[in-house]
Structure 1
Amino acid sequence: MVPVVLINSLPVTQISAFYALFMTQAAGRLVADGIASHAPNLSVAMSLFELGCQNRVPESCFHLGGAAMVLAKENDKSTNSEKSPNPTGSNDSSRLRVEAFKAWMEGCKLGHEFCCRNIAKMYSNGDGVEMDELKAKDFLLKADQLATHNNVTHTSTTNTAVNKTGT
């Protein structure tokens, strides 16, 4: 269970830092979803998610990895659809996949179940990392342990989660 921080017991400087971290996460979501600027901009959102992830906000790590992977796949499509090969396109895709891996790895270390599942999938598919079924199983096991610890059970292979307490 995540420890609860009582805001009223923190000094003003820590309260400001606490809110700044979560506001960074919120701002990143608004930009990524296109609500803040009326058009989604993952590149801008990534810098906000990166700040949150660097400051140990697991959800920011999750979204940073997701944004990097979306951009990598978009880059793959644009590189494959061009008549002449783009020599930097695959490098950008590789760099973005490494960034996704690092972000999800950090999120997994911070206890974010879906970051662990995404790392497992990367190892299982060899997407951005060398295929390694043993590592994939290890990260899937860690994700399952986090789900159990957080009182969540997955009801199907589509990873639909339900709270065991019924609330």
Structure 2
Amino acid sequence: MAFDLKDESQVKEFIDNLGIEYRFGCYKEKKPEVCHLLGDFLESIMKDYTKAGKIYKSNCEDYNFGRSCYKFGNYKLLGRGSQEVDCDVAYEYYRKACELGVSEACQNAGLMCLGNGTHTRSVKDHRKGLQLLEKGCDGNNPFCCYYIGGVYIPGIPEASIEKDMDKARRYSEKGCELGNIYACANVSQMYRRGDGVAKDEEKAEKYKKRALELQDELVKQQQTLTFQQGTKPI
């Protein structure tokens, strides 16, 4: 049956049917990917964050579904859906999601270990933080690659993590390849200054050019978003 999404009654029927389909797939067929969709449905369509949080939590714990672990970590971090804010519990769900291959969770868990930002673990663990970020970088998360590269430029003396410009270059190059503008800028400067690498103006220009391309893409995206938000029907 085709639904006319301009008809309010048909939209309601469509949403009701969607909810029934997701509940059947989750509770009866016990499909973790459908349970996650049910959580997303409750969160984004029904705005029932309490129920959505319960779905994400159980889907993580019962079925080891990484995306649900990540979402419940967000709920604990932000105190969403009747959840009390608990950074240490949020970290555990992020860590589990990271182990299950969710690179965004590796990023969050890694930063919480390093103690950077508003939301951190009660105990810092710099080496664990780097391990988590490395896993995120291995999963092609551009921010994780950029951040690790940035860590190795000065090192972390209090954690006995030494400056390592070779690692800084390698992680920064990968972050740039994945589209992180700051990683491109960092590696460009390394080659221009000969900081830990042989000076290479050609490579410095190559990464500078890539950074500028990414900057232009970002500006165009922002302009498009502004135009769409600001456009009014005549």
Aligned to 2:190: 122
Quote the offset at 1:38 in angstroms: 4.3
Structure with greater helix share of residues: 2
After TM superposition, the score normalised by the length of structure 1 is 0.65
Q: Answer whether contact 1:42 1:67 (CA < 8 A) is retained.
A: no
Give unmatched runs, 5+ long, in structure 2.
1-21, 23-31, 37-64, 71-101, 227-234
Match of 1:67 among 151, 159, 166: 151
Match of 1:33 among 108, 111, 115: 115
Match of 2:201 among 107, 128, 133: 133
Higher relative contact order (CA 8 A, sep 6+): 1
Cα deviation 1:68-115 (Å, max 9, x = unaligned): 22317x49xx9xxxxxxxxxx9xx54xx21111111111111111111
Aligned to 1:108: 176
- Backbone CA RMSD of aligned residues: 3.1
In structure 2, C-alpha distance between the alignment counterparts of 1:127 and 1:46, rounded to whole Å: 22
After TM superposition, the score normalised by the length of structure 2 is 0.48
Structure whose CA Rg is larger: 2
Cα deviation 1:6-27 (Å, max 9, x = unaligned): xx9xx73xx8455432111001
Give unmatched runs, 5+ long, in structure 1.
1-7, 79-88, 153-162
In structure 1, C-alpha distance between the alignment counterparts of 2:194 and 2:212, rounded to whole Å: 21
Cα deviation 1:112-135 (Å, max 9, x = unaligned): 111111110111111111111221
SS for the counterpart of 1:150 is helix
In structure 2, C-alpha distance between the alignment counterparts of 1:61 and 1:151, rounded to whole Å: 23
Q: Report % sequence identity.
A: 28
Alignment size in residue pairs: 130
Give the partner amino acid of 2:137: C
Cα deviation 1:44-87 (Å, max 9, x = unaligned): 22111100000000011011111122317x49xx9xxxxxxxxx
In structure 1, C-alpha distance between the alignment counterparts of 2:126 and 2:150, rounded to whole Å: 10
Aligned to 1:21: 103
SS for the counterpart of 1:147 is helix
Match of 1:51 among 135, 147, 168: 135
In structure 2, C-alpha distance between the alignment counterparts of 1:56 and 1:36, rounded to whole Å: 24
